[in-house]
Structure 1
Amino acid sequence: MSPVAEGFRQLGHLFATDTLAVIAVIALMGWLLRKNETVLAWLSFAGLAWFLFNLDGLAFVEAWPFDFAVGQSALLYPLLFATLGLAASFLGVAVPQPLVIMVALASLVLGAAATLLHGLEITRVVALASVCVSLLMLGFLATRAGARISPLEKLVLVSIYALGLCATAVDLFAEKIWPGIALLLSPYGGVLLLGFSGFLILHHMLATAEAREKLNEALGQRIETTKANLLASESARHSLEVAHAVKLERERLMREIHDGIGSSLVAALASAERQGKESTTAVVALKGALTDLRVAIDSLEPVEGNVATLLASFRYRYEPELRKSGIGIKWMVEDVPELEWLDAPSALHVLRILQESISNTMGHSKATQLSFKCKMALLMGRPGLRVEVADNGSGFNAEAPVMGRGRRNMAQRAEALGGKLDVLSKPGEGTTTILWLPLVRRQGLNLEAGHAADL
């Protein structure tokens, strides 16, 4: 071989051998950082075995005072052992520990025998047989491979491993295959084998890290969702507790009003009625006070925003008095949506408006028929409920100046509710009171404006 060709051969051999050493060191560092990745330990061991095996053939090694080729022949068996261990670990094949120990001891025995019998042709035959057995074991491992790698990766990996092992077999007879050239293939086969293994290991570790990050992100989102659900549940529980406490307090107030003030008014009314006609004014006042008290109590009843339920309660209170006055009732209340904002103060405003309208009908209109209507209606494009109370009484001039406070108070209450009140009437044509209530009430409304009517 010419000096130039020998120089290129030495350079390529040195580069390949140093690459094997670098792979072994990097794999060792990776395994020290991640002890659970046993495949890195096998990669480091295989890199070291391939590095030592391929030192033979370098100029500086040949200049050493001892015959490295003798030791190099013994390193074939640890190389085969490490390569098969790396393949098994990477393919996900669980190899029993006793079998690993047995193969390791066999490689040491064969290595020692190769060292002692170096120079004999039998050592090459045994070495070639060991490589062939290793190829068969590699095929067996491929058939037992788990789901750690894809079929394509398994095919490529097994092919490259087979090429690397075949390169060592060729090198056993390199002198006979190309005499005088001293070209060794095992360093390049080892770089290809271990380099591809390292690439796949790195690829799978990065894929695992990415999958772990996605899993952590998904878990984080689930934790946030769970926290939001817990907060919502806690808020709902707190709302239920508050609602229950309000209900208990409402029931207590209703009971106190009924048993206290209500009982006193009933007793006073009974006493005034026993005194005869001289107490007519007192009787009327007491009846009005008692009715006002009952309306206030009705407003405390939970209606859950249902206007139809509120109107039914009002009808229950006033129908007996209307019939005593000779006034029939026509009920035309449709099934309408609930008003979420209709709480106890708002319900009292609605009842007071209706109460004022009924009182005017009973006291001044001489009506014989009274109709209640409730349905959906739009006002300037806004959805709402239209509550209408109409009588067939004598009516009045609605355009005349307002003398009393009744209509003014009704308008103030409607404004406090965010609604609108219209009183339509003509002499001889009866009176119609129309209260429009919004489905969604604007923020910032002050119910105190309506409370002024109670003073």
Structure 2
Amino acid sequence: MSPVAEDLGQLGHLLATDTLAVIAAIALMSWLLRRRENVLAWLCCAGVAWCLFNLEGLAEIEARPFGLPVNRIALLYPLLFTTLGLAASLVGASLPRGLVVAMALGCLGLGAAAFPFHGLEIMRIAGLATIGVSLLILGFFATRAEAQIGAPEKLALVILYALGLGAVGFDLYAGTIRSGHGTRLAPYAGVVLLGFSGFVILRHILANAEARERLNQTLGQRIETTKANLLASESARHALEIAHAVKLERERLMREIHDGIGSSLVAALASAERQGKESTTAVVALKGALTDLRVAVDSLEPVEGNVATLLASLRYRYEPELRKSGIAVKWMVEDVPELDWLDAPSALHVLRILQESVSNTMGHSKATQLTFKCKMALLQGRPGLRVEIADNGSGFDINAPAIGRGRRNMVQRAEALGATLDILSKQGEGTATILWLPLVRRHGLNLEEGQAAEQ
């Protein structure tokens, strides 16, 4: 070989060795940052072993002073052990701990034996045989590999490691048995082998980091969803507690009204009836007050937005008196949807409007029939319920000035509900009170006007 070619070979050898040292240093720093990545520790150890093996080979060729105080055969076994450990870690081969310990002890024993007997031919042959066994073990790793990396990368790793160990065997054969001084392949094979290994490791770490980031995002979304569900559950629980408290308070008020004012009115009515005809006006007034009180109590009952229930309650309270007055009841109430906004105060307004209509029929109309109607109806394109109470009495002039505050109070209550009230009547044709209730009530309505009408 010419001197120029020899110098270029030595320069390439040195550059490859320096590259291996850089790879080992980067792997060490990376492992210090990520201690759980054992593959980085294997890469660092393999880089150091390859670097020492190449330095000793260069010293043997040039007899330079940086040669190590050991022979190349002794350095072969740490190289094989760390390279196989890196390969197993990369391809994810599941190895019994006993096998790993046996390999470590075997390499340690062979390396120690190479010190006193390195000049014997048997040690050189043993080194080559160990490389062959390492190739078999590498094939075993490939069969035991788990799905930690992709199949193309796994195949490339196995091929590169086999070629790398083959290059080490070739250099050992050329440098020991043939005593040749040609181009050494091991330094370049080590750079390719460990460089590709580092690339695979980096890609694996980045893939894990990306997967972890996606997992964190998914967990963050689940946490936010769980928080929202918990807040919704807490709001629902709070609403149930409030509803339960309102129910208890409503029951208490109903009981107090029934046992207090109601009992007093019943006692006063019984006393007035015992006094005879002279108290007829008082009897009528007390009966009316008692009916009003019962209607107010009925409005406290939870109707759950059911207007038909309100009408049935009103019919139940007034039907006995209607029969005594000779007025028959006709029921034409259809199955209608519930009104979500119909709470207790709104229910009382509806009952008061309808109660005023029934009272007027009983007191002034001379009717023989009172009809209760309820059905779905549109008003200016808006869906709602059309509640109607109509009699066949004498009627009145709708344009005549109103006497008393009854009709005005009815209109005020309807406006407070966001409803529409129409009173239709003609002389001799009866009277119809039509109350249209919206399915969805506009926000911002105030029931205080209706409460003022109550006073």
Return the TM-score normalized by structure 2.
0.94
Tell me the distance in 2 between the aligned counterparts of 1:272 and 1:45: 112
What amino acid does structure 2 have at the position aligned with 1:148?
Q
| CA shift digits 1:423-452 (9 cap, x unpaired) | 111112111111011111111111010112
Secondary structure at the residue paired with 1:247?
A: helix
Secondary structure at the residue paired with 1:210?
A: helix
Structure 1 residue ranges without an equivalent (≥5) = none
Percent identity between matched residues is 76
Are 1:131 and 1:169, in contact at CA under 8 Å, matched by a contact in 2?
Answer: yes
Are 2:61 and 2:181, in contact at CA under 8 Å, matched by a contact in 1?
Answer: no
Aligned equivalent of 1:331: 331
Tell me the distance in 2 between the aligned counterparts of 1:185 and 1:76: 15
Displacement, 1:111? 2.5
Aligned equivalent of 1:32: 32
Aligned equivalent of 2:253: 253
Tell me the distance in 2 between the aligned counterparts of 1:450 and 1:366: 29
Tell me the distance in 2 between the aligned counterparts of 1:66 and 1:303: 100
Aligned equivalent of 2:142: 142
Secondary structure at the residue paired with 1:338?
A: coil
Are 1:167 and 1:189, in contact at CA under 8 Å, matched by a contact in 2?
Answer: yes
What amino acid does structure 2 have at the position aligned with 1:159?
I
Displacement, 1:57? 4.9
Tell me the distance in 1 between the aligned counterparts of 2:253 and 2:68: 106
Displacement, 1:4? 3.5
Distance change in 2, residues 1:360/1:174 (3 Å): same
What amino acid does structure 1 have at the position aligned with 2:367?
A
Aligned equivalent of 2:206: 206
Displacement, 1:387? 0.6
Aligned equivalent of 2:71: 71
Aligned equivalent of 1:95: 95
Aligned equivalent of 1:215: 215
Aligned equivalent of 1:341: 341
Secondary structure at the residue paired with 2:55?
A: coil
Secondary structure at the residue paired with 1:376?
A: strand
Displacement, 1:165? 0.7
Aligned equivalent of 1:277: 277
Distance change in 2, residues 1:174/1:399 (3 Å): farther
Tell me the distance in 2 between the aligned counterparts of 1:58 and 1:67: 8
Displacement, 1:147? 2.1
Are 1:55 and 1:61, in contact at CA under 8 Å, matched by a contact in 2?
Answer: no
| CA shift digits 1:222-277 (9 cap, x unpaired) | 22222222222122111111111111111111111111111111111111112222
Displacement, 1:67? 5.8
Are 1:10 and 1:59, in contact at CA under 8 Å, matched by a contact in 2?
Answer: no
Mean Cα displacement is larger for which, 99-108 or 150-159? Answer: 99-108
Distance change in 2, residues 1:24/1:61 (3 Å): farther
Number of corresponding residues: 455
Aligned equivalent of 2:358: 358
Displacement, 1:122? 3.6
Aligned equivalent of 2:420: 420
Mean Cα displacement is larger for which, 54-63 or 140-149? Answer: 54-63
Aligned equivalent of 1:410: 410
Structure 2 residue ranges without an equivalent (≥5) = none
Are 2:163 and 2:189, in contact at CA under 8 Å, matched by a contact in 1?
Answer: yes
| CA shift digits 1:67-112 (9 cap, x unpaired) | 6595223211110111111112222223333332332232233234
Aligned equivalent of 2:10: 10
Tell me the distance in 2 between the aligned counterparts of 1:200 and 1:320: 93
Aligned equivalent of 2:386: 386
Displacement, 1:218? 1.6
| CA shift digits 1:30-49 (9 cap, x unpaired) | 22222222211111111100
Aligned equivalent of 2:452: 452
Are 1:327 and 1:368, in contact at CA under 8 Å, matched by a contact in 2?
Answer: yes
Secondary structure at the residue paired with 1:444?
A: coil
Are 2:59 and 2:66, in contact at CA under 8 Å, matched by a contact in 1?
Answer: no
Mean Cα displacement is larger for which, 402-411 or 313-322? Answer: 402-411
User: For 1:236-251, what aligned pairs fall within 5 Å after superposition?
Assistant: 236-251=236-251
Secondary structure at the residue paired with 2:434?
A: strand
Aligned equivalent of 2:160: 160
Distance change in 2, residues 1:179/1:2 (3 Å): farther
Displacement, 1:59? 7.4
Aligned equivalent of 1:133: 133
Are 1:56 and 1:62, in contact at CA under 8 Å, matched by a contact in 2?
Answer: no
Secondary structure at the residue paired with 2:432?
A: strand
Displacement, 1:151? 2.3
Mean Cα displacement is larger for which, 169-178 or 414-423? Answer: 169-178
What amino acid does structure 2 have at the position aligned with 1:423?
I
Displacement, 1:51? 0.6
Are 2:56 and 2:71, in contact at CA under 8 Å, matched by a contact in 1?
Answer: no
Tell me the distance in 2 between the aligned counterparts of 1:153 and 1:67: 36
Displacement, 1:368? 1.0
Aligned equivalent of 2:311: 311
Distance change in 2, residues 1:165/1:352 (3 Å): same
Aligned equivalent of 1:371: 371
Secondary structure at the residue paired with 2:397?
A: coil
Are 2:92 and 2:147, in contact at CA under 8 Å, matched by a contact in 1?
Answer: yes
Are 2:393 and 2:430, in contact at CA under 8 Å, matched by a contact in 1?
Answer: yes
